[in-house]
Amino acid sequence: MVHSLIFAGMEALLQQIEIYKKEIAEFVLEDKNAAEAFRIKYLGSKGLVKNVMTEIKNIPNEKKKEFGQILNEFKIFAESRFEELKNVTSNQLPETGIQIDLTLPGDQLPLGSRHPLSIVKNKIISIFQRLGFAVAEGPEIEDDWHNFSALNLPEDHPARDMQDTFYISQNPDWMLRTHTSNVQVREMEKGILPIRIICPGRVYRNETVSARAHCFFHQVEGLYISDNVSFADLKQTLYFFVQEMFGQDVKIRFRPSYFPFTEPSAEMDISCLICNGKGCNICKHTGWVEILGCGMVHPNLLENCKIDSGKYSGFAFGMGIERITMLKYQVKDLRLFSENDLRFLKQFTSAV
Ligand code: 2NL
């Protein structure tokens, strides 16, 4: 009887030691004072380890050795844990033991809004993607070949002038691209046909900044090269685009134009969205507003990129994202797009 009571006492003690060991293993440092608090609780003169050690006197002699070993291991366990906790560098810990309730909802972060140019760029991309165009990107610092020469721009073309182009001073062959056509040249050079791409991106021109011009702006150019591509394909593609962009009732017209990289070339107008073609300030009382330039890819360009111009033909177009955005949202001054004035930007919070 006496023996079994002692046995029950030992069992309870062993269980208690296991509970302490678990606590010690899971002990977390909440602040700079926590390691010392640990020492006092477990290793201090009135600590729990001491407390358990005194129990050895109640253990029958024949069990003392076995039990002594368990107690000793427990003491070493607590001491080595204390060494570990001491070594956690104090600057990793908060000054005080403020309890943080991790179940509380987080602070609300103001979400901001997308930039109007991004909204319009994304919309343009998604419309052309539905027609099977892929997005292509390329470098903003470009060499003469990809920005000018491959595009059929003669050596003496005014666009190459220092007045219009930012050249890189270390290397006169390099410049900030003046259009995203460089990406299209790079795609054509890969020689994988057909090509059906749009190239959105930032371009640079040496302009005096005003309400209508900036030294950088954004473009989307498009290129479709295959066998049997005609001007009718160009017209239908761009008609689909403006209907998706501005609404089903919008009308288009083409005016003959000139670009070195296309022949024939045209500028496309849409019926004025403000007055519905009746005439107003926006359309300068013509009923029409210009939105992009386009044409059939000049055979010289195809040959420059080693594409057989007898077998392949294509169309290309280019538009300024700023221009489309100004028309869509009636923005009157180009500089608003790069001034980061929140009173302007916040107006696009609900647009996607
Ligand atoms: C405009 C006019 C245009 C192109 C860009 C192009 C590119 C290649 C070949 C042929 Cl690789 N053409 N691009 C063609 C016609 C017009 O842009 O006013 N853009 C803002």
Which residue of 261, 302, 325 sits with most ligand 1 atoms within 8 Å of its CB, as the best mutation to test the pocket?
A: 261
Span 14-25, mean pLDDT?
92
Span 316-327, mean pLDDT?
96
CB of 304 closer than 6 angstroms to any ligand 1 atom: no
Task: Give 9 Cα–ligand 1 centroid separation in angstroms.
Answer: 92
- Of all protein residues, the one whose alpha carbon is nearest to atom 19 of ligand 1 is 318
Span 85-113, mean pLDDT?
78
Task: Give 332 Cα–ligand 1 centroid separation in angstroms.
Answer: 25
Span 232-243, mean pLDDT?
98
Q: Please give the Cα distance from 275 to 272 (Å, whole number).
A: 6
CB of 181 closer than 6 angstroms to any ligand 1 atom: yes
Task: Give 248 Cα–ligand 1 centroid separation in angstroms.
Answer: 25
CB of 197 closer than 6 angstroms to any ligand 1 atom: no
Span 56-80, mean pLDDT?
90
- Of all protein residues, the one whose alpha carbon is nearest to atom 8 of ligand 1 is 181
Q: Please give the Cα distance from 324 to 337 (Å, whole number).
A: 13
CB of 195 closer than 6 angstroms to any ligand 1 atom: no
CB of 297 closer than 6 angstroms to any ligand 1 atom: yes
CB of 185 closer than 6 angstroms to any ligand 1 atom: yes
Number of other residues whose CB lies within 10 A of the CB of residue 346: 10
| Per-residue pLDDT band at 91 (split at 50, 70, 90) | low
Q: What is the chain's Cα-based Rg?
A: 38
Query: Is the pLDDT confidence value at 34 over 90?
Result: no
The two tokens of residue 122 are 């994304």
- For residue 301, the model assigns a pLDDT of 97
Which ligand 1 atom minimizes the distance to the CA of 297? 10
Q: Where are the strands (E) in the chain, listed by range?
A: 134-135, 141-143, 174-176, 195-204, 216-226, 252-259, 262-271, 288-297, 313-320
Query: Closest by alpha carbon to 316, among 328, 301, 327?
Result: 301
Query: Closest by alpha carbon to 297, among 212, 188, 167, 136?
Result: 188
Task: Give 256 Cα–ligand 1 centroid separation in angstroms.
Answer: 14
- For residue 1, the model assigns a pLDDT of 41
For every residue of 303-345, DSSP letters joined together read: HHTT--TTT-EEEEEEEEHHHHHHHHHT---GGGGGS--HHHH
- For residue 112, the model assigns a pLDDT of 85
- Chain segment 156-210, per-residue pLDDT in tens: 888 888 779 999 999 999 999 999 999 999 999 999 999 999 999 999 999 999 9
Which ligand 1 atom minimizes the distance to the CA of 150? 11
CB of 315 closer than 6 angstroms to any ligand 1 atom: no
Q: Please give the Cα distance from 294 to 298 (Å, whole number).
A: 11
Query: What percent of the chain lies above the pLDDT cut of 90?
Result: 71
